[in-house]
């Protein structure tokens, strides 16, 4: 497929998509993504680095169009999307996909909320439709990319196209302007994985960058600014320049009939997705014996090489506690804290928790091994095998592949509710559970809402 044919097909699809065409499963995936991301943003309003971003935006000033959630002020919409997008990713609890390392909703929800608040508020059905369009395109672009972001280091540069698609749909741009919006967005494509390896704050900033960039691109396209038409397939388009040897047919396979947002997983733990299978296996063993950690001499965790590359580093044996980010990207720490506490959520990654001697002592007795046999074509997280060597000389082995929260191993409605309540209560102005439940119910019923802005009014 050459020239701008592929791009034209995608843009026509963005404009023509209807809620009925999507079906119930795709719409519910979009609603779950919205609810989950709003919880993530509420919990992270004052996470490390977020106050700095909010203060910088406040100093810049400008037209009060959209709210910086949890900070009590409004600013130009692209800047609100920037800060709120960083919030959505800040605590490593936003939704993911398991066939590739990808976080779809954290970049979409903040951009759509900023647009809705800055312009005529979106109706609930419009918001959900735009969200589903964006989720679908992000996952399709991921499938068309030959090398995943962990391996290449080009950490999902393509997400900006999906956000631009969602915003174009929400703004009711025609095919021509939608094409220009995605073309302009191409110039903003960015993303890198080194900040995750380093455990730096820059990693959480990247979703904010994409939300900000996509909103800028769409607003410019609406006003008549033009972008390259062959933004994907041109001689210097995205594929040629950044993702050579793509699989473009995956972009259009069953386009409009299969909605890939249904493949998105909800994360039950506040850690890198590559740790979730191990955490889940550890918790299953802890449920059988809550004191199990007291009987463990050492643990070996065997994972696929790509997983080991991202989360296999050992906890510092010299006694230096990990940072929040490095702990969230550590198999050793996350499995240790899950065994000791029975959870690996926000409370387990506070500065006080990271200095706990009991958890660190166990974490330093956990090693991980890169094992090619743990690779699984269906899941980038691969298979996980845990060998617990007990003080009495026994060995306990457990193995699994489907991470908790995957559509094949889904979170229940009660688990989704518990996560949402924990997120809101983890913010600096915690909610009563009744209020959190009421907000969650409103978000889950978003398709009936006449004005989506009311859903986050209390979080501003």
In sequence order, which residues have a C-beta less than 8 Å from that of residue 102 and are 6 or more positions away? Answer: 96, 138, 139, 142, 149, 156, 159
Higher pLDDT, 5 or 120: 5
- CA separation, residue 192 to residues 152, 322, 367 (Å): 9, 22, 27
3 state SS of 439: helix
With beta carbons less than 8 A apart as the criterion, state whether 460 and 72 touch. yes
What pLDDT is attached to residue 380? Answer: 86
Percentage helix, strand, coil, to 5, in the chain?
A: 55, 10, 35
C-alpha–C-alpha distance, residues 342 and 283, integer Å: 6
With beta carbons less than 8 A apart as the criterion, state whether 343 and 290 touch. no
Q: What is the pLDDT of residues 233-268, one digit of tens each?
A: 999 999 999 998 999 999 999 999 999 999 999 999
pTM, to two decimals? 0.93
Q: What is the pLDDT of residues 443-457, one digit of tens each?
A: 999 999 888 887 777
C-alpha–C-alpha distance, residues 408 and 394, integer Å: 32
With beta carbons less than 8 A apart as the criterion, state whether 98 and 380 touch. yes
| Residue linked to tokens 């489907």 | 402
What pLDDT is attached to residue 3? Answer: 62
Distance, first Cα to last Cα, the chain: 46
Token duo for residue 189: 């494509």
Pairing of the two strands 73-75 and 66-68: antiparallel
With beta carbons less than 8 A apart as the criterion, state whether 170 and 126 touch. yes
Residue 2 has pLDDT above 70, yes or no: no
With beta carbons less than 8 A apart as the criterion, state whether 109 and 261 touch. no
CATH topology of domain 5-268+438-459: 2-methylcitrate dehydratase PrpD (1.10.4100)
What pLDDT is attached to residue 425? Answer: 87
CATH topology of domain 273-400: 60s Ribosomal Protein L30; Chain: A; (3.30.1330)
Strand (E) or helix (H) holding 133: helix 124-144
With beta carbons less than 8 A apart as the criterion, state whether 122 and 34 touch. no
Higher pLDDT, 56 or 434: 56
What pLDDT is attached to residue 392? Answer: 96
3 state SS of 68: strand
Nearest-10 crossing angle of helices 159-170, 124-144:
150
What's the maximum distance between 2 C-alpha atoms anywhere in the chain? Answer: 73
- CA separation, residue 282 to residues 94, 134, 181, 341, 393 (Å): 21, 35, 46, 11, 19
How many residues appear in the chain?
A: 460
With beta carbons less than 8 A apart as the criterion, state whether 85 and 212 touch. yes
3 state SS of 66: strand
C-alpha–C-alpha distance, residues 414 and 399, integer Å: 26
Domain boundaries in the chain? 5-268+438-459, 273-400
Token duo for residue 260: 């890939």
Reported confidence tier of residue 320, pLDDT bands at 50, 70, 90: confident
Dihedral of the alpha carbons of 194, 200, 202, 203, in degrees to the nearest 10: 60
What are the residue ranges of helices labelled H in 187-316? 194-198, 202-222, 238-242, 249-252, 276-288, 305-311
Nearest to 212 by CA among 178, 247, 167, 179: 167
Nearest to 179 by CA among 169, 188, 189: 169
Nearest to 126 by CA among 116, 136, 118, 117: 116
Looking at every residue in the chain, the average pLDDT score rounds to 93
3 state SS of 193: coil
C-alpha–C-alpha distance, residues 91 and 141, integer Å: 25
Residue 37 has pLDDT above 60, yes or no: yes
C-alpha–C-alpha distance, residues 130 and 136, integer Å: 10
Burial (Cβ within 10 Å: 0-12, 13-18, ≥19) of residue 133: buried
Q: What is the pLDDT of residues 147-184, one digit of tens each?
A: 888 788 898 999 999 999 999 999 999 999 999 999 99
Token duo for residue 277: 């299978």
- Of 88-97, 308-317, 402-411, 412-421, least confident by mean pLDDT is 308-317
> Is the C-alpha dihedral spanning 9, 14, 16, 18 positive or negative?
positive
3 state SS of 272: coil
C-alpha–C-alpha distance, residues 345 and 363, integer Å: 16
């Amino acid at each position: 497929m050459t020239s701008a044919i592929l791009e034209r097909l995608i843009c026509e699809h963005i404009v023509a998509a209807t809620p009925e065409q999507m079906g119930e499963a795709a719409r519910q995936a979009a609603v779950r993504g919205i609810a989950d991301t709003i919880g993530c943003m509420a919990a992270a309003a004052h996470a490390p680095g977020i106050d700095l971003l909010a203060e910088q935006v406040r100093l810049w000033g400008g037209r009060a169009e959209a709210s910086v959630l949890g900070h009590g002020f409004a600013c130009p919409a692209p800047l609100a999307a920037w800060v709120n997008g960083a919030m959505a990713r800040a605590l490593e609890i936003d939704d993911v996909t398991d066939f590739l390392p990808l976080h779809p909703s954290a970049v979409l929800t903040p951009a759509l909320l900023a647009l809705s608040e800055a312009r005529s508020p979106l109706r609930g059905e419009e918001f959900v439709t735009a969200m589903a369009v964006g989720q679908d395109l992000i996952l399709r672009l991921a499938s068309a990319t030959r090398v995943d972001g962990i391996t290449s280091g080009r950490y999902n540069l393509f997400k900006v196209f999906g956000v631009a698609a969602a915003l174009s749909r929400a703004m009711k741009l025609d095919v021509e302007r939608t094409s220009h919006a995605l073309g302009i967005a191409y110039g903003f494509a960015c993303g890198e994985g080194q900040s995750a390896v380093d455990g730096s704050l820059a990693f959480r900033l990247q979703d904010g960058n994409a939300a900000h960039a996509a909103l800028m691109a769409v607003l410019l396209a609406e006003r008549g600014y033009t972008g390259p038409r062959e933004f994907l397939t041109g001689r210097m388009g995205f594929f040629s320049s950044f993702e050579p040897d793509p699989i473009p047919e995956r972009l259009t396979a069953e386009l409009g009939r299969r909605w890939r947002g249904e493949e998105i997983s909800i994360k039950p733990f506040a850690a890198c997705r590559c740790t979730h299978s191990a955490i889940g296996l550890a918790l299953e063993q802890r449920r059988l014996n809550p004191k199990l950690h007291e009987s463990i001499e050492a643990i070996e965790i065997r994972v696929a090489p790509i997983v080991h590359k991202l989360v296999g580093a050992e906890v510092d044996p010299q006694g230096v506690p990990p940072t929040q980010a490095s702990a969230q990207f550590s198999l050793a720490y996350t499995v240790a804290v899950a065994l000791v506490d029975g959870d690996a959520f926000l409370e387990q990654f506070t500065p006080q928790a990271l200095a706990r001697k009991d958890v660190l002592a166990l974490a330093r007795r956990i090693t991980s091994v890169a094992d090619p046999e743990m690779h699984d074509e269906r899941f980038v997280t691969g298979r996980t095998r845990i060998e617990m060597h007990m003080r009495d000389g026994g060995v306990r082995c457990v193995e699994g592949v489907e991470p908790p929260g995957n559509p094949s191993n889904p979170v229940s409605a009660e688990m989704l509710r518990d996560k949402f309540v924990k997120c809101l209560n983890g913010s600096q102005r915690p909610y009563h559970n009744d209020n959190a439940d009421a907000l969650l119910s409103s978000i889950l019923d978003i398709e009936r809402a006449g004005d989506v802005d009311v859903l986050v009014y209390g979080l501003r």
